[in-house]
Amino acid sequence: MKAPISVLLIEDHSGTREALAAALRLDGLVIAGALGSAEAALEALPSLHADVALVDLGLPRLPGVELIRRLRKLAPGLAVLVLTVFEQEELIIEAIEAGAQGYLLKDASPGEVRVAIEQVMQGLAPLSPAVARHVLARLRTEPPARPFGLSDRELEVLGLLARGYTYASAAQALGIGVGTVQTHVKAIYRKLEVSSKTEAAAVARRNKLFPPG
């Protein structure tokens, strides 16, 4: 008899986490862990046996995209499925680039989540319809590749920080949250292989990644 799929659920809202875990158990899945933070998931990972990680992107402290990246590095055989409220195109692409194999929005029913988990285990890439539209739109309008693979939003954030904006003022200028700016900065540092705002600005100017401000 085939063993049931084992799921690691990472969701910071306790009510959502408990309700989803209960629904998935009723559908015959095993909940290897139901945890409220990225840090708790990374700490517990070595002692858990999970086939699929179901990850919310709006986690406190360590962002969901970075958690996906670390999970894929620490457990290459672990499939990762995003379940989140965020449907911003840049975040979808970042999550997929980090290693997510599927991306669902939280309006998905427990039955749809279960089907998506099974699809991920079959090597498929389930996407909510709204997410699929974003991905298709990006593929149709994808601009020529830039050095370092920086996205439009990352270039905007980099330009502002290089002109002396703080995270808070950059967030206000772009109409996004400070946490989102921090996520972009981490991606910028990783792609430019730097560890400070000064180094990032120097690399950007050297490579003419944005007009001088």
Domain boundary at 118, 140, 162, which? 140
Beta strand extents in the chain (DSSP E only): 6-10, 30-35, 52-55, 79-84, 102-105
> Do the domain assignments include residue 193?
yes
User: In a 3-state reduction of DSSP, which class is residue 49?
Assistant: coil
> Do the domain assignments include residue 212?
no
**124 and 159 belong to one structural domain:** no
Alpha carbon 213 to chain centroid, angstroms: 31
Domain boundary at 112, 140, 168, which? 140
Q: What is the CATH number of the domain that holds 193?
A: 1.10.10.10
**Domain limits for position 116:** 6-140
Q: How many domains does the chain have?
A: 2
> Do the domain assignments include residue 57?
yes
**178 and 130 belong to one structural domain:** no
Which tens digits make up the pLDDT trace of 11-27? 999 999 999 999 999 99
CB burial class (10 A; 0-12, 13-18, 19+) of residue 129? exposed
**54 and 20 belong to one structural domain:** yes
Looking at residue 197, its pLDDT comes to: 84
Average pLDDT per consecutive 10 residues, the chain (213 residues; last block may be shorter): 89 94 94 96 94 94 91 93 88 89 93 94 90 76 65 88 87 89 91 87 78 47
pTM score, whole prediction: 0.65
> Do the domain assignments include residue 33?
yes
**106 and 152 belong to one structural domain:** no
Looking at residue 212, its pLDDT comes to: 45
Looking at residue 1, its pLDDT comes to: 63
> Do the domain assignments include residue 166?
yes
Looking at residue 142, its pLDDT comes to: 55
The rounded distance, in Å, linking the Cα atoms of 148 and 207 is 10
**79 and 132 belong to one structural domain:** yes
Looking at residue 139, its pLDDT comes to: 65
Q: What is the CATH number of the domain that holds 15?
A: 3.40.50.2300
Looking at residue 213, its pLDDT comes to: 46
**105 and 184 belong to one structural domain:** no
Looking at residue 203, its pLDDT comes to: 83
> Do the domain assignments include residue 213?
no
Per the CB < 8 A criterion, the answer to whether 53 and 78 are in contact is yes
**134 and 96 belong to one structural domain:** yes
> Do the domain assignments include residue 1?
no
